[in-house]
Amino acid sequence: MKPFALSILTLAACVTLAPIAQAGETIHYADGDTALQGYLAAPSAVRDGDKMPAVIIVHEWWGLGEHVKNVADKLAEQGYVAFALDMYGGGKFATESAEAKEWSGEIKGDPALAKRRFLAARDHLLGPISDDLPYSIDPDRLASIGFCFGGTVSLEMARAGVDLAGVVSFHGGLKSAIPAEDRDIKAKILVCHGADDPHVPAEEVAAFQQEMRDAEADWQFIAYGNAVHSFTNPAADSESARYEERAAKRSFQAMLDFFEEVL
């Protein structure tokens, strides 16, 4: 679904309107005794009983921040229900890289915990997520995307055989903590990678691509020139993790094209 602008006269003559995002809202859910706090954005042009395609968004290692919330809003404008989950609990957001490294390392190093946190969000989304919402989520049109740490988590969900139509990683790490013999890739995969990302060396890229071949997965890998880590995040401004507008726009469009196919 592509957004488009309409004049007042054209708008009055139209029967079907382009989706417009509602204001996002905080969603409280849980993983056992751990309280979690996600962010939901949805199109306003939905009717009672609609079964909607949905995208689960996994945040960067910092936690649930403005970047993924903005992405959720943009996806809602394209006609998707978007749910930015909480991998850490309480919607917390790191203020120091050491803190972010500790929190993300705990999740990445424990595949069972990562899967449980992801499934808590998925199951709540399919739940229904709220009695107040007029629509439901189509479980056959559910995808996951992630940024940096979140890209790694999304790829791990594909490796773990989670029932997803598609997975997109933006500048995510490509290594897996799941033993090779336990991997069961069913989802279609798109990786959007910064060609000059110093945090993901060429050896890791080559190993990932060989893993996909060996698994006979349905996968795509796009490397963006002149892009390093965090190229989609306008707030990233360090030498090794920096916003790159062209790569950000191209990768977002690549994701939308991918969703046109899988969702």
- How many whole angstroms separate alpha carbon 175 and alpha carbon 184? 15
What is the number of other CB atoms lying within 10 angstroms of the CB of residue 114?
22
Report the sign of the C-alpha dihedral through residues 206, 207, 209, 214, in that order. positive
Among the listed residues 211, 42, 199, 188, the one whose alpha carbon sits nearest the alpha carbon of residue 129: 42
List, in order of start, the domains of the chain with CATH numbers: 19-262 (3.40.50.1820)
What is the pLDDT, as a whole number, of residue 46? Answer: 75
What is the pLDDT, as a whole number, of residue 132? Answer: 64
The 10s digit of each residue's pLDDT in 226-249 is: 999 999 999 999 999 999 999 999
pTM value > 0.75: yes
What is the pLDDT, as a whole number, of residue 24? Answer: 87
What is the pLDDT, as a whole number, of residue 146? Answer: 98
The 10s digit of each residue's pLDDT in 116-168 is: 999 999 999 998 666 666 788 999 999 999 999 999 999 999 999 999 999 99
Instruction: Report, as an integer, the average pLDDT of 92-103.
Output: 95
136-141 contacts, C-beta under 8 A, 24 or more apart: 136/49, 136/50, 136/51, 136/52, 137/51, 137/52, 137/53, 137/54, 137/81, 138/51, 138/52, 138/53, 138/54, 139/163, 140/165, 141/51, 141/52, 141/53, 141/54, 141/165, 141/263
